[in-house]
Amino acid sequence: MASDLRIRRATGADRPRLAEIFLVVRRHAFPWIEAETFRLADFKRETEGETILLAEDDHAILGFASVWEPDAFLHHLYVDPPAHRRGIGRRLIAEMSRLCEAPLELKCQTNNHPAIAFYRRLGFTLGESGVSDIGPWVRFRAPPKG
């Protein structure tokens, strides 16, 4: 993990880069969906009203997480593919967990095997499952706090 990695709240000035990461990573993580389905404008709509934390290294934004705080629902966690396996996702989740009173919950597409393995390594447990417009999903819950 990069020792100079910083986690901070996103500002309006960060949004263009966050939208780029959102677009690139969704196209990378969801290959079963046509890439043209995803657009830069999706970021604004998909994160409306959410708390967004970002990870940066030498002033380059490498990833972000967004949470709907009233439900401690981790809606998005995306790290730019060249920055994978540096502990960025783990750090973003740790910081989001500190913000929320309840343990984090999230939904993950079942076809996204790397993400499922990641959440399991962090101790998240499986919950309900279902199907959305982009395919089957499973709900995860973070380990209890304390």
Residues 86, 93, 75, 58, Cα dihedral to 10°:
-50
Q: Is residue 1 part of a domain?
A: no
Higher pLDDT, 31 or 79: 79
Domain assignment of residue 90, yes or no: yes
- Give per-residue pLDDT as tens, 86-144: 999 999 999 999 999 899 999 999 999 999 999 999 999 999 999 988 889 999 999 98
Residue 30's CATH number: 3.40.630.30
pTM of the model: 0.91
54 belongs to a structural domain: yes
Would 124 be classed as within a structural domain? Answer: yes
Mean pLDDT of 1-28: 89
**C-alpha distance from residue 142 to each of 6, 20, 99, 109 (Å):** 22, 28, 14, 17
Q: What is the pLDDT of residues 55-96, one digit of tens each?
A: 999 879 999 999 999 999 999 999 998 888 899 999 999 999
Residue 105, domain extent: 6-141
Residue 114 within any structural domain of the chain: yes
Say how many domains are in the chain. 1
Structural domain includes residue 117:
yes
Tokens matching residue 97: 């967990």
Q: Please state the rounded mean pLDDT for residues 21-48.
A: 88
61 falls within a domain: yes
Does position 11 have pLDDT exceeding 90, yes or no? yes
